[in-house]
Structure 1
Amino acid sequence: MRTDTGQVFRLEEYKPSAYRIPRLELDFRLDAQETLVTARMQVERAEGTDVGTPLVLDGDGLSLVGLAVNGEPAGENGFEALPDQLTLRDVPAGDHFELEIVTRINPSANKALMGLYVSSGVFCTQCEAEGFRRITYFLDRPDVLSTYRVRMEADRATAPLLLSNGNPVENGDLDGGRHYAIWDDPHPKPSYLFALVAGNLGVVSDHFITASGRKVALGVYVEHGKEARATYAMDALKRSMRWDEERFGREYDLDVFNIVAVSDFNMGAMENKGLNIFNDKYVLADPETATDMDFANIEAIIAHEYFHNWTGNRITCRDWFQLCLKEGLTVYRDHEFSADMRSRAVRRISEVRTLRAHQFPEDQGPLAHPVRPRRYREINNFYTATVYEKGSEVVRMIHTILGEEDFRKGMDLYFDRHDGQAVTIEDLIACFEEAGRVDLTQFALWYHQAGTPNVIASTSYDEQAKSFTLELEQSVPPTPSEARKKAMHIPLKFGLVGPNGEDMDWASADGAEISGDVIHLRERRHTISFKGIGQRPVLSLNRGFSAPVVLSEQVSSADRYFLAQHDSDAFNRWQALNSLANEALIEAANQARNGTVPGFDDELVSFPAGIAGDETLEPAYRALAITPPAEADIAREIGGNVDPDAIHRAREAYLDAVARSGATQMASVYDALADDGTFNPDAGHAGKRALRNVLLGLLMRAEGSPERGVVQYRSATNMTERLAALMEVTHRFANSPEASELLADFEGRYSDNPLVMDKWLTTQATIPGDGAAARVRELMKHSSFSLSNPNRVRALIGGFASGNQTGFHAADGTGYQLLAETILAVEELNPQVAARLAVTFRSWRSLEPHRQKLAREALATIAKAENLSRDLRDIVDRTLA
């Protein structure tokens, strides 16, 4: 574990490496307790580097066994080897030399899951961002690109499978029951993309024929006996490969492509060149053990990692400040893939809900940072919603500004110009500017300026002049280290909806740049006058969520209901109803806080039943439309002095009112959606199950009984419906015999499946109300839970902290205490996971004073601990600042 040194890395201090390493040969003698790694590297002095300049290589807890320069052992006085750094002082005078380094590492003891470690008997690696330095001393930075040749040898009985990046070259037997394999990757890559897997695994094999006719061997490797649960992942991979050819013209470039699923992994997956290593949660699925959400996530993450082959691997980052260059761009690509595979409207609503739930709070709190950060203490802490999700939204806005044709030209230019290079955000923007013949200087502030812009909109209509006036004002709130903000270029898609529900045309518009259906908001204030408007329209602004802003509109309830029924833009139709519910819930929370029973408008609570039965809308859309904002979303909108208990009571009262209002109609729809027993994970079938499960919860409220949920649980033929029933029964009737019975039954069915037991843990961790922290403490003693496995920790502790607003924010502070204690315990094993748990505290200042005090005390407990890792210290210090 690297303890914090307080060092801050700054973008403006970037300097190219003094040396390059164009070729690296690695030799692994694999052993669970003592692996020897021999690294032979061809080193070149970079242009401008003075002769005699020391070569300084990165390390992390390494033990040096041997060092040779040009085949001769290095003199004792010619180098200094520390666990975290190797300095070669006696550098040969020529421009090129060979360096051989031998290190000894213990994969079994590596509980941080960075570098080379063992997961369930399988050797595997995770090197992003700075894990390669835990394997050997190296220039572990993204702009040092090398071709790799990797030789592995291991015991054949325990590790018959030997995989690495690139193409297989050679394999054979050795004495003593050992064997070897050699892989060669012809494409230069940074060290963070190196990968190795060795073990005994089953495989699902297939092939893919590229657009140019090449045959690529495909393999998805999983634990023996789980092969049938990897077939969907293989299908998703093949669809991803074809889509990238058709949409972006990108063809795969090696002879093989392999995916390996492991049970211990800090992230979702990793895009290592030709050998993607996955958390098994995002590979394994079948109807009995995986929900529709699991299937959708597998599809999206398989695609995301594959798309990195070009946006991340073939073209990579110059430095870690450019992380969004690969991640934001690739998230945009996987979002577009999912939209084409499923429902574009439903996917867009889901993406925006995720952005608002995770990235907006980040922008509004102490951890705010630009899409391209300018400084960091620990790069692992910048794998954030801002870099990923907001980074994707920035790319989407470029598409909106340029249009499909010029956007594709910009991408083609980027691929052609920068293939094989480590580049910057400026390089990407320059390609779009050239392709679209536009100046994106102001727009680039989206990369450089932190914070979520606020846009205020007001309208008026002059019947006599037949003109419609729109006034827009933008501002960006202060964020840490950045108080004054510049005006942004905000592309707002819009429509003027006439009384007949159709978009209206206008003769002319003055006051702002408008291209097609996009208003380009560039100044602090714009007044736009639309001429030739015969009747008062209703404004539909920021259609499709074209810009990631907080939009405040002076809109009547009548106009919102009108848009909810008639807007041609599916996202804004959903947004209108969501805004109505959100406003009512905020008012209800204030009532609940004052001891008043919350009340709701009859039209609002009767609206969901009508939507549920509207067969002109796809079921998945209906499910989203009738689901009110989550408790955390309501808290975010309130902004300050938040009382989670009052919000919970308000939301419960709203759901009860909706259930009472439309029970008869909803019961009819629920029955009509009954599953015929055949499972299909596609969007249409998943949408029907989603709607049915939302209705289940409402009907159980209306009936005041767990019986309907018990019936669905017992008759369910798939995990989606069984888990939904379990959650509804346990959350609504937590202390009932039925809840205990179903929890015991679920445990008995799936006790041998860790990924499904994660669902069992999360279900109980998110039961609202008193005693939540005590329940979680008991579950931490369960045999299915382990502090050393990131999936188990995220399921139970992460589920509690982020998914149980009343439990985590209990007024007695027990939730905060539990999280602080767990963070410190996890810190001893895995600093990355501990740091990500600590992010849950980011919004503590928005709470009411009593809870603020308790949350701060919990944070202070963590801060006072000795020898905190760089990962955790960085998060805690910024959160408390």
Structure 2
Amino acid sequence: MTQKPQAKLLADYQPPSHQVEHIDLTFNLSPLTTRVIAKYELQANGAQSYVQLDGVDLTLISLKVDGQPHSDFTQLVDGIKINSVPESFSLEIETEIAPEKNTSLEGLYLSDGAYCTQCEAEGFRKITYFFDRPDVLATYKVTVIGDKSFPFLLSNGNQVDSGDLEDGRHFVTWEDPFKKPSYLFALVAGDFDTLEDKFVTKTGREVKLQLFVDKGNLSKAPHAMTSLKKSLQWDEERFNLEYDLDIYMIVAVDFFNMGAMENKGLNVFNSACVLANQETATDRDYHVIESIVGHEYFHNWTGNRVTCRDWFQLSLKEGLTVFRDQEFSSDLGSRALNRIDAVNAMRTHQFAEDAGPMAHPIRPEKVIEMNNFYTVTVYNKGAEVIRMMHTLLSEEGFQRGMKLYFERHDGQAVTCDDFVNAMADATNTDLSQFKLWYQQFGTPTLHIKTKYDAQAKTYQIDINQTHAKNDPVTEPLHIPVAIELLDESGEAIALKGAPLKQDKVLELTEEKQTFVFEDIGSEPTPVLLEDFSAPCLLEYEYSLSQLGHIAKYASSYYARWEAMQILFTQQIRAYVDSEDKNQTMFGELSSVLESLFVNKPDDLAILAEYISVPNFDTLSGGYDIVPVDALCQAIERLERQIADLLKTQLTEFYQNVQDSGGLSAEEVAIRALRNKSLYYLSLTAENVSDWLKEQANSSNMTTKLGGLKSALNAQHPLATELMQEFDTQWNHDLLVMDKWFAMHATSQSDKCIDVILSLYEHPCFDKSNPNRVRSLVGTFARMNPKQFHRPDGKGYELLGNLIAELNELNPQNASRIITPLLSFKRFDESRQEKMRAQLERLAGISDLSDDLYEKIDRALN
């Protein structure tokens, strides 16, 4: 890289130089020579004799100002500067682009022969010259011209015209009456199978629903359509928000950097987040599809109708919409399972990000490449910040705040402060201290101590909050700490004395606070930070007996799971710290594990979570220098001990409780526990071959993968044969093969890297497709610590080599899979040296992308 990229600063924000009320776009589609004509009126915001527009990889054909050719302009590396223009004028720009050559998958590109766009965050500048920033909102009229071999020519809004043209071509014109920024523009052209339905809104309007999928995939579309209808209904019932166009379209494409995109009225989805039937998709896939379809629909109001002023405000729409999709999933399914899922994402990924070189606030202060801030911090921690507001204000207060937010800002581009101010004003609550959550980074810690006074019958809770080492915020944060106190029999104790929000929430606003509860007859067991009421670390010296008590009796299923996680973590730390390789399991832990099968929860999927050991990333967060080998061995050891301890109970359940293959919550839960049972039984039981074969031959993908995963994890002699059979059966379906690639990537065998390299030549693998790369190499780097961190450094070399290739092919994808190398300072000296060597090699690439430069520079420096 010849010139160091310059960071953009939130503090430097300036309003746009001009406003654009409306833009007319005409596309004449061709793989190598697509012509784009853009026409719009510009009005200067003050005295301005020139206008500078964004544009990248464009061939300028013509430029007219007020209908006349205009030659006084300068083409820049990232745009065009048009000189000698009046205060108000019309502009017509014709450009040419080559979608077939666009492997970045930003702007207009080809996905298996279909044209599609991805404009968030800054892809529109690869289509035409314009203000490619979210605070320039305009209405759009779009005419798409293409060959009749592309029967569907789609864009945002409502269709207003169509017709045939000469030479076997045709056109369709779309008009979106709602102002939107350029990042929400969408165009899709192709030949698809179509699933149609309708939804009648609460005011009686009929909305046409269309789902476009590749030919032959129609049988995999109904679940996504059902999810869309549920989303429309839920948003009306829970948030009183009604859809506003006459049509809502979703298109599934194979080449897509993200999961999906909420373009107004025309969502473009990664096909992995749409296509599902029980033969090809897992129960987890069904859940994820429902959640993502909901997420993108919910953006219609939280992101589209009200959008971001600038990209530093990304969490304004993403954090809020993740909270909304989490609530959607919780209202429709198991609230406990969805909370476990959300907290696992925080502990596994977000806490690590907060502790690493890419740590940043949910509203970043500076950025080089905006794509690098589509992170678990902005999305998931952003959602936790919204959840804290919901906790403090109550559902009723939060809904009042949402109503005021839309009344004030519908049709505007606004900031995170605008959202918090609406919440504060609607509820007459001072949230000025709460706003610090938008500036801080790193994970805060709650240090808690308790004291019981038997004579006074009081129970005292002392809380001290501390910030992460490099957190720019040093003042106390506003933190809701939910609690429950359990008596000796496991009953919840009525909380009296200390002031509470929502009956069980302590409001922490100072660095140190003391809360005293009265009329406590005996020393209770505290359930602290219940349901993860704030994105904080908890330091409290729980005894093993207290954790066992919570695991058995807490009123929250989440709190019981959390107690199990702490028990597992303490056990694994004991193994890592001990030289005694014959050390047995804590008696309290074994007692709780056995009791779980005596008093099973109603939801067997929760039981499957209860007996699941925390993953490597979650556990490694507790160490300054991660003991890779000892930690991997401790996890394996504990899982084998669990398998030995529960062999009888797991065998009895597996043999006596059968799965009928349906999609009800009960049947999904049975599959979850049967798969977890087989996983453990494969580690210790004899004669599991028939069970492994039976599951691997199932017509239900969840059951089939459960068998394969168990065989691979146990390195069972059948594993190779079963994996080969899967390849033979499914190599015609790339999304299914992604699951096969991912299973190879998690193999504990020392041949894992050689197998991955050989799979580069597999007919189904394609380095230009983000799904293939994520499933094979992304999964390996994130979910196979034993082989990725192997002492010889070959795991790091594998990742580094692929990133070097992707730097030119798809920088955004390269930037997303580099994350496991960035926190190299958390490992021993030998591993640090090898990881650093890969980063330094990549830093030396002459044409290193901004996406990679930003992350590598922050990691090394």
Same fold (TM over 0.5): yes
1:570 to partner: Cα distance: 1.8
Task: Give the corresponding residue for 2:783.
Answer: 803
CA distance in 1, matches of 2:594, 2:715: 24
What SS class does the counterpart of residue 175 from structure 1 fall into?
coil
1:624 to partner: Cα distance: 0.6
Moved more, 224-233 or 714-723: 714-723
CA contact (8 A) 1:62 1:83 kept: no
CA contact (8 A) 2:752 2:787 kept: yes
What amino acid does structure 1 have at the position aligned with 2:645?
S
Equivalent residue for 2:746, pick from 762, 766, 790: 766
1:279–1:174 distance in 2 versus 1, CA, 3 Å: same
Task: Give the corresponding residue for 1:31.
Answer: 30
What SS class does the counterpart of residue 507 from structure 2 fall into?
strand
CA contact (8 A) 1:478 1:484 kept: no
C-alpha deviations, 1:87-137, integer Å up to 9, x for none? 111112xx4311000000000000000000001110000000000000000
CA contact (8 A) 2:207 2:247 kept: yes
The count of residues paired between Structure 1 and Structure 2 equals: 861
What amino acid does structure 1 have at the position aligned with 2:523?
R
CA distance in 1, matches of 2:443, 2:3: 30
1:569 paired with 2:556, answer yes
Equivalent residue for 2:338, pick from 326, 339, 347: 347
Equivalent residue for 1:526, pick from 510, 513, 521: 513
1:276 paired with 2:242, answer no
Equivalent residue for 1:497, pick from 477, 483, 486: 486
CA distance in 1, matches of 2:472, 2:575: 34
CA distance in 2, matches of 1:555, 1:712: 43
Equivalent residue for 1:317, pick from 308, 320, 337: 308
What amino acid does structure 1 have at the position aligned with 2:96?
R
CA contact (8 A) 1:4 1:869 kept: no
CA contact (8 A) 1:619 1:687 kept: yes
CA distance in 1, matches of 2:391, 2:651: 42
CA contact (8 A) 1:706 1:729 kept: no
1:470 to partner: Cα distance: 1.0
Task: Give the corresponding residue for 2:797.
Answer: 817
Task: Give the corresponding residue for 2:212.
Answer: 221
1:26 to partner: Cα distance: 0.3
**1:598-747 correspondence runs (5 A):** 598-612=583-597, 614-637=599-622, 639-676=623-660, 678-680=661-663, 682-704=664-686, 706-733=688-715, 736=717, 738-747=718-727
**1:359-378 correspondence runs (5 A):** 359-378=350-369
CA contact (8 A) 1:63 1:83 kept: no
Equivalent residue for 1:81, pick from 75, 78, 102: 75
1:527 to partner: Cα distance: 2.0
1:590 to partner: Cα distance: 2.7
What SS class does the counterpart of residue 787 from structure 1 fall into?
coil
**1:836-851 correspondence runs (5 A):** 836-851=816-831
C-alpha deviations, 1:346-374, integer Å up to 9, x for none? 11011101111110001111110001001
CA distance in 2, matches of 1:451, 1:708: 49
1:608 to partner: Cα distance: 2.7
CA distance in 2, matches of 1:127, 1:706: 50
What amino acid does structure 2 have at the position aligned with 1:408?
Q
1:851 to partner: Cα distance: 1.1
1:598–1:811 distance in 2 versus 1, CA, 3 Å: farther
**1:39-78 correspondence runs (5 A):** 39-46=38-45, 49-52=46-49, 54-74=50-70, 76=71, 78=72
Q: Percent same amino acid among aligned pairs?
A: 43
1:616 to partner: Cα distance: 3.6
Equivalent residue for 2:565, pick from 555, 578, 581: 578
CA contact (8 A) 1:598 1:650 kept: no
C-alpha deviations, 1:166-188, integer Å up to 9, x for none? 00001000010000000000000
CA distance in 2, matches of 1:717, 1:659: 27
CA distance in 1, matches of 2:851, 2:222: 37
CA distance in 1, matches of 2:356, 2:315: 20
**1:110-125 correspondence runs (5 A):** 110-125=102-117
1:554 paired with 2:554, answer no
What amino acid does structure 1 have at the position aligned with 2:202?
A
CA contact (8 A) 2:822 2:856 kept: no
CA distance in 2, matches of 1:843, 1:673: 44
What SS class does the counterpart of residue 216 from structure 2 fall into?
coil
1:11 to partner: Cα distance: 0.7
> What is the alpha-carbon root mean square deviation over aligned residues?
1.5
**1:433-452 correspondence runs (5 A):** 433-452=424-443
What amino acid does structure 1 have at the position aligned with 2:490?
G
1:833 paired with 2:813, answer yes
Runs of 5+ consecutive residues of structure 1 not aligned to the other structure: none
CA distance in 2, matches of 1:409, 1:484: 29
1:792 to partner: Cα distance: 0.2
What amino acid does structure 2 have at the position aligned with 1:610?
S
- Length-normalised TM-score, structure 2: 0.98
Task: Give the corresponding residue for 1:871.
Answer: 851
CA contact (8 A) 2:362 2:381 kept: yes
1:612 to partner: Cα distance: 4.0
CA contact (8 A) 2:391 2:502 kept: no
CA distance in 2, matches of 1:503, 1:583: 25
1:490 to partner: Cα distance: 0.7
What SS class does the counterpart of residue 355 from structure 1 fall into?
helix
Runs of 5+ consecutive residues of structure 2 not aligned to the other structure: none
1:776 to partner: Cα distance: 1.2
1:266–1:571 distance in 2 versus 1, CA, 3 Å: same
CA contact (8 A) 2:308 2:415 kept: yes
- Length-normalised TM-score, structure 1: 0.96
What SS class does the counterpart of residue 176 from structure 1 fall into?
coil
**1:531-542 correspondence runs (5 A):** 531-542=518-529
What amino acid does structure 1 have at the position aligned with 2:184?
L
1:42 to partner: Cα distance: 1.4
Task: Give the corresponding residue for 2:98.
Answer: 106
What amino acid does structure 1 have at the position aligned with 2:825?
R
**1:195-214 correspondence runs (5 A):** 195-214=186-205
CA distance in 2, matches of 1:51, 1:370: 35
1:73 to partner: Cα distance: 0.6
CA distance in 1, matches of 2:291, 2:52: 40
CA distance in 2, matches of 1:658, 1:144: 58
C-alpha deviations, 1:522-575, integer Å up to 9, x for none? 111112222221111111111111111100112211111011111112211111
1:37–1:234 distance in 2 versus 1, CA, 3 Å: same
1:131 paired with 2:150, answer no
CA contact (8 A) 1:59 1:84 kept: yes
C-alpha deviations, 1:487-507, integer Å up to 9, x for none? 111101111111221211244
CA distance in 2, matches of 1:844, 1:792: 25
CA distance in 1, matches of 2:697, 2:712: 17
1:752 paired with 2:732, answer yes
CA distance in 1, matches of 2:604, 2:435: 39
CA distance in 2, matches of 1:24, 1:528: 59
CA distance in 2, matches of 1:356, 1:3: 38
CA distance in 2, matches of 1:507, 1:163: 60
Moved more, 859-868 or 829-838: 859-868
What amino acid does structure 2 have at the position aligned with 1:256?
I
1:708 to partner: Cα distance: 4.6
